[in-house]
Structure 1
Amino acid sequence: MKHKPLHNIYSKDILRKKIESESFERTTISFYKYVIIQEPLILRNELYREWEELGVLGRIYLAKEGINAQLSVPEFNYQKFRDSVDSKKEFKNVPFKIAVEQNGHSFLKLDIRVRNKIVADGLADESFDVTNVGTHLNAEEFNLKLESSETILVDVRNHYESEIGHFEGAILPQSDTFREELPLILDMLQDKKDKEIVMYCTGGIRCEKASAYLKHHGFQNVFQLHGGIISYASEIKEKGLESKFKGKNFVFDGRLQETIGEEILSECHQCGERSARHINCANPACHILFIQCESCAEKFQDCCSVECQEIAALPVSEQKKLRKGKAASNQHFSKARIRPKVFELYRDK
C-alpha cells in the first residue's frame, strides 16, 4: 500500500487554483500552548495525517515546549478538527482564536514544522521561570487598566506590525524581531518598575514569554491581554465595548491584516501618502514586505523599486539566472535599510 507524503508536493499555482475552486467556506483560527511534548516529530506526523484528511491548511510549529498554530479549516469539518485537537492530551480544551475577517485564502498548504522553540525569542529558558507569567486581562479589564495613569502599555510586536495598527498610548519598540525586542523593552522600562506594565501582542503567545522575562528582571506588576488583539476584537464586538485599538491588526498569513478600526495610521513607503496596504515585492528575488498605496502599486507594478520592477519584467529564465547563488533579501521593510532605497526613486521629482 502506497503511503501519502507527509508534506505538500504541489506548486503555489496549483494550490491557489485548488483554493479558488473550493465550493465551501473556511474558518481561519489560531491557538498556542506551552506544554511539554516528548516526541515532537512523531506527533507532527500524526497531526499531519489527521489534519490533511480534514482539509486543514496552515502553518504550525511544534517543539518540546509546545505548539503555535495558525490555520484554516473547512467549516463543515470544524467540529472534527476540534475533536482531533482535543484528542491529544497535550492540547485538550486549548482555546481557539477565531479570525476577525474571513476570506478563505489565509493559507495555501498544510505546513507542520518541528523547531527548537515555537517562538524565536533568543532566551535561555532554563535561566528563569517561564511559567511565572503576568496576570491575564480580558477586554473589559484591559480597557480599565488603560484609563489609569499608573499603567505603562507596551506593544510586544515588531515595528511593521504596530505601524499599521496599535492601542492608543502604547510604547511601540522599533524592532525587526521578537528576539531583538525583549532586551529593548527591558531597557526602555528600567526606570518604571513601580508602574503597572500592561502588554499585548497578536494572539497572546509572545506576551507569555515577555511577561515572565520582565518578572524575572524585577517587575512585580505585569499584566497581559488574554488572547491578544484577536480575542480583544471579538470580545469588544460581542459585549459592545469601546475599542481602544486603532487601525489594522497585522497577521502572519495570506491576508496580512485584519481591520479592527477604520483609521489609517501608516504611510506608503514610497510616496508617503496614507496607506496600510501591505504587499510583497513582485520581484521574487526581493519579495520584501512593505506598505504600498494603490497609486504606487500601479506606477511600480507591485515592486518596491525601479530596479525590482525591471527585474520582474524579465523572462522567468532570466530572473532565475540573476537569483542563482544569491541569498534572499530581508523579509520585511526595515526603516534603516530600505527607506533610503525606495525614497531615492522620488529624488528627481
Structure 2
Amino acid sequence: MQLYNTLSAREREKLIEDAGKDRLTISFYQYAHIGNTQIFRNHLFIQWNDLDVLGRIYVAHEGINAQLSVPAENFQAFKAHLDSISFLENVRLNIAIEQDNKSFLKLKVKVRNKIVADGLNDDTFDVTNKGIHVGASEFNNLIEDPNVVLVDMRNHYESEIGHFKNAVTPDVDTFRDSLDIIENDLAEHKEDKKLVMYCTGGIRCEKASAYYKHKGFKNVYQLEGGIIEYTRQVKEQNLENKFLGKNFVFDHRRGERISDDVISNCHQCGKPCDTHVNCANEACHLLFIQCEECAKAMNNCCSTDCMEVHALPYEEQKALRKGKHASNKIFRKGRSEALIYKK
C-alpha cells in the first residue's frame, strides 16, 4: 500500500497546471491525545492522498498541526473526513486569504515528538490552563488599552514583513527562543499588565499562554485563530485592520498581503520590499528578502559566491553539495553576512 509520495514536485506542478482546477490552501491544529501516532499518520495519508490533498502535516501524541492544499471540489469530502474523527469534528479551518494552486506540491505527513518545537516539558505545567481567546473586534479594542503589552509570538523573519502596530517583536530565530526572552523582558509586569499574544494561526499562542500563566502572568489573552482568522473577521465584519504589511506563511507563497504597507527592505539594496525568496543555490537555500531588480542582477541568489555555484552545470552543483547539510540553524533565515541590509 502506498504511504509516501511517488511524484516529484515538478511532476505534481505539471499535473496541477494541466488539471486547471482551483485549490484551497488551509491550515488547522488541534491538541488532543493520540495513542498510536504511526497508525493515525498512515490513516491520514491514505485518506487524503485519495482526495489529492497536498501539504505538510505533523502528528504527535499531543495532537496535529496541518498546513495543506485541497482541490476545491473535494473540500466537502475532506471536511467530512475531518468530522469523522472525534477530536477533529468541527475543528476551525483557517482558509488562506490569497489562494495559490501551487502552495504545496507534495503530501508529507510526519510523526514528530511535538506538533510545534517549543522545547517545553509539558509535564511541569497544566497545558490546558490557557489564556482567554478573543476575536478580531475585541482584540482591536484590547490592544488600545494602555495596560496591555502586545507580543508577537513569531520569529524575526515573520514579523519583519508584517506585524500589529505597537507590538513587541522579539528578535528570535525560533519559537522556543522567544519564550524565556519574553518572560524576562516582561517580568515586572506579570500582575499589573495584560499580556496579549498573537501568531500566524494560533497554535503557538495555545501553548505559550498556558506556559505564561504557569510562570505567574495574571492576565493572559490570545488572538483566536491568529492573523489568518483576524483578517477574515476584519473583512466580514468591516472592522479596522490594525495589521501592517504581510503575514508570513509556511508554503510556496511565503506571504499573504494584509495591508498595502511595505514595512521591510530588500536585504541586498535596501529599497522597500517584502518579498521573501530562497537563494537559487540549492546548497544554500537561504530565506531572505529580495526585490525584482536584485533578483535579476543576482540571478536569484543571495551572494556572488552563490551566483558562481548556481552558474555551474547541475551535476557539478550536486557534487559540491554531496555530504554537506544545509539547515536553518546554519543559515538562520536572513542573517547571512552577505546581506548588507538585513534586519
TM-score relative to the length of structure 1: 0.95
For 1:60 and 1:313, how far apart are their aligned partners in 2? 34
Match of 2:312 in 1: 314
Tell me the CA shift for residue 225 of structure 1: 0.1
User: Which amino acid is 2:312 matched to?
Assistant: L
For 2:128 and 2:210, how far apart are their aligned partners in 1? 7
Q: Identify the match of residue 206 of structure 1 among 204, 207, 231.
A: 204
SS in structure 2 of the partner of residue 207 of structure 1: helix
Match of 1:247 in 2: 245
Tell me the CA shift for residue 327 of structure 1: 1.9
Q: Identify the match of residue 162 of structure 2 among 162, 165, 169.
A: 165
Match of 1:88 in 2: 85
Match of 1:9 in 2: 6
SS in structure 2 of the partner of residue 321 of structure 1: helix
Tell me the CA shift for residue 9 of structure 1: 2.0
User: Which amino acid is 2:226 matched to?
Assistant: G
Unaligned segments of structure 2, at least 5 residues: none
Do residues 103 (structure 1) and 100 (structure 2) align?
yes
Aligned length: 340
Tell me the CA shift for residue 61 of structure 1: 0.5
* Residues 238 and 252 of structure 1, relative CA distance in 2, 3 Å threshold: same
Q: Deviations over 1:76-119 (max 9, x none)?
A: 11110000001011211111111111021110011100100000
Unaligned segments of structure 1, at least 5 residues: 345-349
Match of 1:43 in 2: 40
Percentage identity across paired residues of the two chains: 56
Do residues 285 (structure 1) and 283 (structure 2) align?
yes
Contact 2:54 2:105 (8 Å CA) reproduced? yes
Match of 2:230 in 1: 232
Match of 2:19 in 1: 22
For 2:335 and 2:253, how far apart are their aligned partners in 1? 25
For 2:196 and 2:224, how far apart are their aligned partners in 1? 11
Q: Deviations over 1:257-288 (max 9, x none)?
A: 00101100001111111100100000000001
Contact 1:287 1:331 (8 Å CA) reproduced? no
For 1:301 and 1:331, how far apart are their aligned partners in 2? 24
Q: How does 1:108-119 map to 2 (within 5 A)?
A: 108-119=105-116
SS in structure 1 of the partner of residue 100 of structure 2: coil
Match of 1:139 in 2: 136
SS in structure 2 of the partner of residue 72 of structure 1: strand
Tell me the CA shift for residue 18 of structure 1: 1.5
Structure 1 ranges of 4+ moved more than 2 A = 329-337
User: Which amino acid is 1:246 matched to?
Assistant: L
Match of 1:189 in 2: 186
Contact 2:288 2:333 (8 Å CA) reproduced? no
Tell me the CA shift for residue 343 of structure 1: 2.4
Tell me the CA shift for residue 62 of structure 1: 0.5
Q: Deviations over 1:12-57 (max 9, x none)?
A: 2212212222221011111100000111110111111111111111
User: Which amino acid is 2:261 matched to?
Assistant: E
SS in structure 2 of the partner of residue 287 of structure 1: coil
For 1:286 and 1:260, how far apart are their aligned partners in 2? 30
Q: Deviations over 1:222-266 (max 9, x none)?
A: 000000000000000000000000000000011100010110000
Q: Identify the match of residue 63 of structure 2 among 66, 74, 80.
A: 66
Tell me the CA shift for residue 329 of structure 1: 4.2
Contact 2:288 2:334 (8 Å CA) reproduced? no
Contact 1:68 1:118 (8 Å CA) reproduced? yes
Match of 1:294 in 2: 292
Contact 1:37 1:90 (8 Å CA) reproduced? no
Q: How does 1:328-343 map to 2 (within 5 A)?
A: 328-330=326-328, 334=332, 337-338=335-336, 340-343=337-340
Tell me the CA shift for residue 10 of structure 1: 1.9
**CA-based RMSD:** 1.4
For 1:196 and 1:35, how far apart are their aligned partners in 2? 28
Match of 1:261 in 2: 259
For 1:268 and 1:334, how far apart are their aligned partners in 2? 17
Tell me the CA shift for residue 331 of structure 1: 6.6
Match of 2:173 in 1: 176
Match of 1:347 in 2: none
For 2:79 and 2:176, how far apart are their aligned partners in 1? 32
